[in-house]
Amino acid sequence: MKRSTGQDRSITQKWRSATRAVRGGSWRSEQGETSEAIYLTSGYSYDDAETPAARFAGQAPGMTYSRTQNPSVQMLEERIALMEGAEACRAQASGMAAMSSAMLCQLSAGDHMVVARAAFGPTRWVTDNLLPRFAIACTAVDGRDLDAWADAIRPNTKLFFFETPANPTMDIIDIRAVSDLAHRHGITVVVDNAFATSALQRPLEHGADVVAYAATKMMDGQGRVLAGAVCGTADFINTKLLPFQRNTGNTLSPFNAWVVLKGLETLELRAHAQAANALTVAAFLEGRVPHLLHPGLPSHPQHALVQAQMKAAGSVFSFTVDGGRKAAMAVLNALELIDISNNIGDTKSLMTHPASTTHSSLTPETRAEMGVTEGLLRISVGLEDPLDLIDDLGQALSQAGLGSR
Ligand SMILES: *Cc1c(COP(=O)(O)O)cnc(C)c1O
């Protein structure tokens, strides 16, 4: 049987990123399977009573229970860590399990954190509603404004949290500048990298400490499973995240881990192709809609920053229509090809009205502050022919009486 080298860092570190995506983390059973196996098992058995004793004591390697370790999950964790350039990674049950764990595993009562206000709706629910119940204070700032981050720092500030590009307004945050500021004050920086993924942006290379993922999105890439991941130093993962996770149970199913593992093999191809399609579609909308929020267009105010920290601007962007919620819903209802769906990162193009879906749990004030207006629509561009997407958007805008500005 040919040995699988995917878990051997002395070998995988030498691989370039496309090779890491296809083979990183692989772990073969004695059958020598070429496609990674799905280990659907909750427990493990041992040849003698001393073995589990040694494993529980941390004196011998090996699995003990799938809340803590599972071969399929471990393959995914090692592959994501390699692709991210991180020392370690732990898979999580969903993207929100990753975001909430990345915060809760390192914050205590009396601490303070700062969040960029444009963020995934449930992330803001955690920072605005859940953390205060445990006496953890949070200040929301305009993440694009470095002075706002600096002004929000208190003596007890422990964490900066932001996503870039941010959902759904596509704000871009300067990872290097915000991380340098944080580190001058001993603050840890967590970046939600779900929109870009390691294929387009590696936050650790720009100074971030922890990268958290909704693997549900581009990493699976085909809209099949919920999954998440947190990456960081081995010390952070082993001393902060792992004790929290193994005792609270945010564990990913081995089946879902396997689906994402296979998705990663095509991540780079998909991310670049979908980003290119998104640019083509956005170029069609430019001039036809009042506001186009696409960081890949030279007209975007943060275009230079996008070029400095991203390989491409990604597959999701937003735009507004005149006429508020009624007009936005009329456009969605007129679509013939693009699905009405609040998911993103699928090979199928999807569109949603954030104010009534992904960001509906927020107060109207928070939505207004984030720029989530009633006329805002978000599109996640897939792998269809972009000309068919343009045809669909064109006919939907005209059926809604819009788009001939
Ligand atoms: C979807 C998403 C999440 C949450 O992921 P789930 O898997 O749905 O829990 C978090 N952050 C961002 C940016 C997302 O797009």
Q: Is the same domain home to 242 and 285?
A: no
Residue 56 lies in a domain: no
Q: What percent of the chain has a predicted confidence (pLDDT) above 90?
A: 89
Rounded to the nearest angstrom, the distance between the alpha carbon of 360 and the centre of ligand 1 is 15
Q: What is the pLDDT of residue 1?
A: 40
Looking at the structure, tell me whether residues 290 and 247 fall in a common domain. Answer: no
Residue with CA nearest ligand 1 atom 1: 214
pTM of full prediction above 0.85: yes
Query: 238 and 287, same structural domain?
Result: no
Per-residue pLDDT at 345 exceeds 50: yes
Distance (Å, whole) CA 30 – CA 357: 48
Q: How far away, in angstroms, is 192 Cα from ligand 1 center?
A: 9
Domain of residue 342, CATH code: 3.90.1150.10
Give the CATH number for residue 119. 3.40.640.10
Regarding the beta carbon of 213 and ligand 1, being less than 6 Å apart is answered: no
> Is residue 290 domain-shared with residue 363, that is, in the same domain?
yes
- Please check whether residues 159 and 213 belong to one and the same domain: yes
For the beta sheet containing 316-320, the strands, ordered from the edge strand earlier in sequence to the opposite edge, are 291-293, 316-320, 376-380, 350-352, 339-340
Q: How far is the CA of 358 from the centre of ligand 1 (A)?
A: 10
Q: Is 278 exposed, middle or buried (0-12, 13-18, 19+ CB in 10 A)?
A: buried
Residue 374 sits at φ, ψ, to 5 deg, of -70, -25
pLDDT above 70 covers what percent of the chain? Answer: 99
User: Which atom of ligand 1 lies nearest, measured to the CA of 194?
Assistant: 13
Nearest CA to ligand 1 atom 7: 95
Answer yes or no: do 288 and 216 share one domain. no
Average pLDDT over residues 34-63: 96
> What is the 226 CA–ligand 1 centroid distance (Å)?
9
Domain shared by 187 and 283, yes or no: no
Pair 256, 271 in one domain? no
203: preceding bond cis by omega (within 30 degrees): no
The pLDDT of residue 68 is 93
102-106 contacts, C-beta under 8 A, 24 or more apart: 102/161, 102/190, 102/210, 102/212, 102/230, 102/241, 103/127, 103/131, 103/159, 103/161, 103/190, 104/244, 105/240, 105/241, 105/243, 105/244, 105/245, 106/158, 106/159, 106/188, 106/236, 106/240
For residue range 106-138, what is the model confidence (pLDDT) as tens digits?
A: 999 999 999 999 888 899 999 999 999 999 999
Query: Out of 10-19, 257-266, 359-368, which region has the weakest mean confidence (pLDDT)?
Result: 359-368
Atom 4 of ligand 1 has which residue's CA nearest to it?
Answer: 95
Angle at 237 between CA 231 and CA 241, to 5 degrees: 105
Is residue 332 within 8 A of residue 341, CB to CB? The reply is no
Domain count, the chain: 2
Torsion, Cα 180 184 185 188, to 10 degrees, reads 40
Can you tell me the mean pLDDT for 5-32? 92
Residue range of the domain that includes 338: 267-399
Gap from CA of 405 to ligand 1 centroid (Å)? 34
What mean pLDDT do residues 331-354 have?
A: 97
> Is the same domain home to 254 and 355?
no
